[in-house]
Amino acid sequence: MEQFIPGQRWISNTESELGLGLILDVAHKRVTVLFLACDEKRMYAQDNAPLTRVRFSAGDVIESIDEYKVIVTGLTEQDGLITYLGKDEDGQDVQLDEVELNHHIQFNKPQDRLFIGQVDPTAWFLLRYETWRRLQQHQQSPVKGLLGGRASLIPHQLFIAHESANRSAPRIMLADEVGLGKTIEAGLILHHRLINGLSSRVLIIVPETLLHQWLVEMLRRFNLRFSIFDEARCLDTYAEDDMLAEAEPDDDVADNPFLTEQLILCSQGFFSNYPRRQQQAIAAGWDMVIVDEAHHLEWSEQAPSPDYLFVEQLGRISPSLILLTATPEQLGKESHFARLRLLDPDRFYSFAAFVEEERLFEPVANAAKLLLAEEALNEAAQQHLTVLLKDDNVDGLLKNLNDPEQSAAARDALIKVLLDHHGTGRILFRNSRQTVQGFPERERYGYALTGSANVDDLQQDPRYVWLVDKVKQLAGQKALVICKQAQTAIDLEQTLKNRAGIASAVFHEGMSIIERDRAAAYFADPDSAARLLICSEIGSEGRNFQFVHHLILLDLPTNPDLLQQRIGRLDRIGQKHIIQIHVPYLEHTECAVLYRWYDEGLNAFACNSSSAQRVADLLHDELAAVLDSKNPADIDALIARTQTLSVELEAQMHNGRDQLLELNSCRKELADELIEQLNSYEKEGVLWPYMEDVFECYGVDTEFHSPDCFIVRPSDHLRVSHFPGLTEDGLTLTVNRQIALAREDMQFMTWEHPLVTASMDMVLSSETGNAAISVIKHSDLKAGQFFLECLFIVECSAPAELQIGRFLPHTPIRVLIDQNQKDVSADIDHRDLVEVGIKFDKHKIIAFLNSQRPHLINILSVAEQKAKTDMQQLVDEATQAMLESLSNEIKRLVRLKKVNPTIRTEEIEQLKDMTMLAHENIQAAQLRLDAVRFVITS
Ligand SMILES: Nc1ncnc2c1ncn2[C@@H]1O[C@H](COP(=O)(O)OP(=O)(O)OP(=O)(O)O)[C@@H](O)[C@H]1O
């Protein structure tokens, strides 16, 4: 054991950040060390001070207190104190006593730490290696960003998320039918962009009634913490910022509340009521804006609505824009066109041209149908395809159609090309129940009531009497009641409570958001007394009520899309029962007419139809007249006309628009492949063992809870002051998606969970584990040999939008060199170099290491040469993969542009620039020694 002598330099083994220590005093079995870099004095017991003597060797570069550098050529020692001999930057011979060494010198390079004896247990080295390997695997995974959502793996959702999230800036409309999971799709896309560093500032605008639901869905499903901004919140921020503003009166940034958070959720109403906030939101800048229930953005050429104009401005400053609506045409075709125009104003420049173009989808859809039918194509059909695809260089594929061996692949390829022709294809995603399937049936019950309405005394109103009776019949089952007016809902709730002793909750526009959410939660609570939730029309949009299966409609809207929205509260993913729709109506009233019209004319209670809204638009005046006259013969005539028109339009749409939309909105094979990849991640079963190692190293206790579920909590020996994402009480987590879906109280741990990503960051950003010594036994290796195991990292830094990790992620290269400088990396796996608990004298090994220093430096450079060769191969492969992928995309866009004006020239140019930039960045990849382990066999 080396003696402590005042004037010597030592370094702390546990707190290397203290810098270089100076021995001040040695007395009474104690040693006092001064760490000048942080002005700390420490006293240790001499016999077990956690200190390592600093001794540089020839070749090292050292620095003096005056910051001049010396290359060490040798050293002399007198009375235990070292004097370094060396050359300064001008090549002059110089001497430097160790007391003059710069106290800021840090030893964080792996080789420095190894030589100086600052080594960590082997487990840390292995953890580091494993972390790099897992990170690399994740970065290259085609499902990166889609893993982390607590959601069932539903094909159409994953397809849409994957398809749009990979675009440089998605500008799309998610228009799946009601209840098919558009919120989840938006969440998946968002999660993907955030995980991949493609977006960071996000604004979501939703109707006020949905604020809380969005907040909760983003948090519980995607671990995304949004902040709700309303006027009060903005004023609050202001109050703090006023103080800042005083200091810098001209600083606009100081008073823009939207700059204080990255993920912000606002209601449409808030922006309508406070136009000044609109300007601030626009000034704040976003890289993604999401607007839910976007059919409310009314537009006409003469009078676009203020809400529309606001979103239009946001759409100009934000590269990505996602609009959500289940009923894109609820406010008419013109408004639908206008929303497409928000997404791509260059493409959707004229409403007339848009209408004309839609008519041309039919031939494309017919061709797709022919290909899908998998029947032999006759001469005429082939001719038809040839004309349609004349710009696509697909002669080869067309020929292959007749070759039994190649026909299937050719059909597939041709369908893909055809789909790309479709005008709104790349912008609009719309899946329907027909394609998604697995939804429960719907049954409707009409109740013709006699008597007349009595809104002044509800007890006298036949519908009230009917309702009381119905509640009794339902015998404890809950039901959602929807009516148009808030006042009806309020009166009904009061009367039911006071006169019939029936408890219900209400939900209407006169209540605050908190009151509404409370009412919905009260109703949802299976133990609460509330039998009914009575909603005004605002309850008909977006909310999740699939836990009930009785829907009572006290009146009917005149708009089929609105009816679809109402039914959609119950008819959504997660509904497990047959949905029972009850419509009590008074005979000879408008409601009676509407009931028959929806039921017999449009069959709208039984299923959703994409043509219903169009039929209603076309028959608008006739319907109004019949509602007015209520003449039975007229009603019959209207119903007959509605039926004919429905069949006609349905067929037309199915032949054209719908079929293409569906094909484009979910390609089954691709979706299934994604699901398989996602499942295989889970099946691989390596996440928990990996995290167990992390927890073990950091001093977090783990406990088995049940299969696939674990409890983790910080132990008394936690190595860090705070383990990210872990509270004092710990948490219960599961690595099983099904369990996570059923057990909301557990965290769903995936490679994308914040706890996991933060742990991986923590492992790699500290130096712990970058130097280790292992004494091992190995059946094929003689005792007394040594090896140097080096972990190099290929690093390629590039702007996030290049997603360079797809081609060249940070990649670990492991090299194992034996004492004869022979590369044995391929012969001996790192897992075979495992310690077997042999006790060794660390000081002796360090002394040996230092005696072998020149030799070890040579071994290191052999290792580096080997790593460089490996890196070159990685760089070549990455370049090839990148060029192949991006140039295919460019070729595809150039080809498509000839036939599909949706593709913008800038998009192609941008891709070309990206390719060049990616090439440059890959070529400039660097190699860095990240960790080293000295292995001795025994
Ligand atoms: N992948 C999924 N896994 C589990 N639950 C899901 C999934 N997708 C959707 N859901 C659930 O289904 C319901 C409907 O989803 P969501 O609210 O996203 O539909 P939507 O299309 O936005 O509906 P609307 O048209 O009514 O606004 C929600 O309760 C949602 O949590």
Last residue of a domain, one of 87, 106, 125: 106
Q: Which residue has the higher pLDDT, 568 or 398?
A: 568
Residue 58's pLDDT is 77
Ligand-binding annotation for 70, yes or no, is no
User: pLDDT at position 249, please?
Assistant: 40
Q: Check if the beta carbon of residue 335 is closer than 8 Å to that of residue 296.
A: no
pLDDT at 689: 95
Q: Whose CA is nearest to atom 19 of ligand 1?
A: 181
Cα 397 to Cα 385, 729, 755: the distances in Å are: 11, 62, 49
CA distance to 20, 77, 127, 839, 847, per residue, from 842 (Å): 21, 23, 21, 9, 9
In CATH, what number is assigned to the domain containing residue 659?
A: 3.40.50.300
Identify the weakest region by mean pLDDT among 116-130, 233-247, 614-628, 795-809: 233-247
Instruction: Answer with the residue of higher pLDDT: 720 or 314.
Output: 314
Radius of gyration (C-alpha) of the chain in whole angstroms: 35
**Residues belonging to the chain:** 938
Confidence class of residue 251 from pLDDT cuts 50, 70 and 90?
Answer: very low
Check which CATH number belongs to the domain holding 44 and give it: 2.30.30.930
Mean pLDDT confidence for 654-666 = 73
The strand order across the sheet containing 81-87 reads 61-63, 69-78, 81-87, 93-97
Query: Which residues fall within 8 angstroms of residue 221, CB to CB, at 6 or more apart?
Result: 149, 150, 151, 184, 187
Question: Are 562 and 427 spatial neighbours (Cβ–Cβ below 8 Å)?
Answer: no
Does residue 710 sit in the same domain as residue 660?
Answer: no
One domain for residues 778 and 819: yes
Ligand 1 centroid–CA 419 distance in Å is 27
Same domain, 454 and 411: no
Residues near 694 by Cβ (< 8 Å), separated by ≥ 6?
127, 700, 759, 763
Angstrom distance (rounded) from CA 97 to CA 637: 108
| Residue 35 within any structural domain of the chain | yes
pLDDT band with cut points at 50, 70 and 90 for residue 393: low
Residue 675 lies in a domain: no
> CB–CB of 342/315 below 8 Å?
yes
pLDDT band at 751 (very low <50, low <70, confident <90, very high): very high
Q: Which residues of 533-549 are buried (b: 16+ CB within 10 A; e: fewer)?
A: bbbbbbbbbbbbbbebb
Q: What is the pLDDT of residues 575-630, one digit of tens each?
A: 889 999 999 999 999 999 999 999 999 999 998 887 898 899 899 999 999 999 99
More confident call, 344 vs 205: 205
Task: Using the predicted structure, report yes or no on whether residue 658 has a pLDDT greater than 50.
Answer: yes
User: Can you give the CATH number for the domain in which 181 is found?
Assistant: 3.40.50.10810
What mean pLDDT is predicted for residues 194-218? 92
Residue nearest (by alpha carbon) to ligand 1 atom 11: 573
Q: In this structure, is residue 23 part of a structural domain?
A: yes
Neighbours of 198 (CB within 10 A): 23
Q: Look at residue 245 and tell me whether its pLDDT is greater than 70.
A: no
CB atoms within 10 A of CB 621: 8
Q: Is residue 277 part of a domain?
A: yes
Domain at 707, CATH number: 3.30.360.80
- Separation CA 885–CA 779 (nearest Å): 46
| Residue 514, domain member (yes or no) | yes
Q: Judge whether 644 is annotated as a binding position.
A: no
d(CA 792, CA 927): 6
DSSP assignment of 287-308, as one string? SEEEESSGGG----SS---HHH
Q: Which segments of 370-459 are extended strands (E)?
A: 428-429, 442-449
CA of 874 to the centre of ligand 1 (A): 42
- Looking at the predicted structure, is the pLDDT value of residue 420 above 70? no
Query: In terms of domains, do 67 and 204 share one?
Result: no
Of the pLDDT bands very low, low, confident and very high (cuts 50, 70, 90), residue 247 is: very low
Q: Secondary structure of 490-558 in the HEC alphabet?
A: HHHHHHHHHHHCCCEEEECCCCCHHHHHHHHHHHHCCCCCCCEEEECHHHHCCCCCCCCCEEEECCCCC
Report whether 59 belongs to an annotated binding site.
Answer: no
Q: Does residue 396 have a known ligand-binding role?
A: no
Angstrom distance (rounded) from CA 15 to CA 679:
43
Nearest ligand 1 atom to alpha carbon 174: 21
Domain end position, chosen among 79, 106, 133: 106
Question: Atom 22, ligand 1: which residue's CA is nearest?
Answer: 182
pLDDT at 224 over 70: yes
Helix (H, G, I), strand (E, B) or coil at 831: helix
Whole-angstrom distance, CA of residue 615 vs CA of residue 642: 7
**Same domain (yes/no): 377, 490:** no
**How would residue 840 be classed by pLDDT, with cut points 50, 70 and 90?**
confident
The DSSP bridge partners found for residue 906 are: none
ipTM of this predicted structure: 0.98
Q: Is residue 417 part of a domain?
A: yes
Q: Which residue puts its alpha carbon closest to atom 5 of ligand 1? A: 151
Together in a domain, 746 and 805: no
Token pair 């992928």 is found at 885
Segments of 805-913 assigned E as strands: 811-818
467: nearest Cα among 767, 183, 458: 458
Query: Residue 318's closest CA among 289, 347, 283?
Result: 289
First vs last Cα of the chain: how many Å apart?
A: 23
Last residue of one domain, picked from the residues 106, 140, 164:
106
Nearest ligand 1 atom to the CA of 157 is: 1
Task: Tell me the two tokens of residue 130.
Answer: 């494993």
Residue type, 443: E
Looking at the structure, tell me whether residues 437 and 419 fall in a common domain: no
- 262 pLDDT exceeds 80? yes
Same domain for 823 and 783, yes or no, is yes
- Cα(358) to centroid of ligand 1, in Å? 29
Atom of ligand 1 nearest to the CA of 183: 18
The DSSP code for 4 is P
Asked if 442 and 533 sit in the same domain, the reply is yes
Q: Which pLDDT value is given to residue 787?
A: 92
Domain-located, residue 550: yes
704 has a pLDDT exceeding 70: yes
Q: State pTM to two decimals.
A: 0.80
Q: Are 328 and 173 in contact (CB under 8 A)?
A: yes
Reported as half-sphere exposure (CB side, CA atoms, 13 A), residue 396 has a value of 4
Residue whose entry in the numeric block shows the structure tokens 């699939």: 546
Nearest atom in ligand 1 to 573's CA: 12
More confident position, 832 or 299: 299
Looking at residue 243, its pLDDT comes to: 47
Q: How many helices (H) and strands (E) does the chain have?
A: 32, 30
Exposure of 876 by Cβ count < 10 A (0-12 exposed, 13-18 middle, 19+ buried)? exposed
Residues with CB under 6 A from ligand 1: 151-152, 154, 157, 176, 178-184, 326, 542, 544, 568, 572-574
Q: In what order do the strands lie in the sheet with 51-53?
A: 40-45, 30-35, 20-27, 9-12, 51-53
The answer to whether residue 864 scores a pLDDT higher than 90 is: yes
Q: What are phi and psi of 190, to 5 degrees?
A: -60, -45
**CA separation (Å) from 494 to 468, 504, 767, 809?**
13, 9, 67, 63
- Count how many domains the chain has: 6
Q: Are residues 214 and 294 in the same domain?
A: yes
Contact 704, 710 (CB under 8 A): yes
Strands 93-97 and 202-206: unpaired
Residue nearest to atom 26 of ligand 1 (CA): 542
- Please check if 2 is assigned to a binding site: no
CA of residue 219 to ligand 1 center, whole Å: 14
Q: 180 among the known binding-site residues?
A: yes
Distance 182 CA to ligand 1 centre (A): 6
Report pLDDT for 434: 77
Q: Give the atom of ligand 1 at the shortest distance from the alpha carbon of 176.
A: 21
Sign of CA dihedral 291, 293, 296, 300: positive
Q: If pLDDT is split at 50, 70 and 90, which confidence band does 240 have?
A: low
For range 534-550, the mean pLDDT: 87
CA-to-CA dists, residue 930 to 56, 583, 622, 645, 927, angstroms:
21, 70, 77, 71, 9
Q: Is 302 found in the same domain as 165?
A: yes
131 in any annotated domain: no
The residue nearest atom 13 of ligand 1, judged by CA position, is 573
Residue 346: name the closest of 918, 763, 907, 800 by CA.
907
Structural domain including 90 reads 9-106
Ligand 1: atom nearest CA of 152 is: 3
CA gap 18, 40 in Å, rounded: 8
* Residue type for position 13: N
Query: What span, in angstroms and rounded, lies between the C-alpha atoms of 848 and 115?
Result: 10
Q: What is the pLDDT at residue 900?
A: 59
The answer to whether residues 530 and 610 belong to one domain is yes
Identify any residues that bridge with 93 across adjacent strands, giving them in sequence order: 87
The answer to the question of whether 587 is labelled as a binding residue is no
CA of 430 to the centre of ligand 1 (A): 14
Residue 425 annotated in ligand binding: no
Please choose from 156, 182, 184, 436 the residue to mutate so as to test ligand 1's pocket, defined by most ligand atoms within 8 A of CB: 184
Confidence tier at 828 by pLDDT (50, 70, 90): confident
pLDDT at 763: 93
Measure 188 CA to ligand 1 centroid, in angstroms: 12
- The answer to whether the CB of 336 falls within 8 A of the CB of 328 is yes
Q: pLDDT band for position 411 (50/70/90)?
A: confident
**Element housing 98 (H / E):** none
Sheet arrangement for strand 320-324: 227-228, 263-267, 202-206, 288-291, 320-324, 171-174, 428-429
Contacts of 748 (CB under 8 A, 6+ apart): 148, 150, 733, 734, 737, 740
Give residue 755 CA to ligand 1 midpoint distance, Å: 26
Ligand 1: residue of 295, 545, 573, 738 to mutate (most ligand atoms within 8 A of CB) is: 573
Question: How many percent of the chain have pLDDT more than 70?
Answer: 95
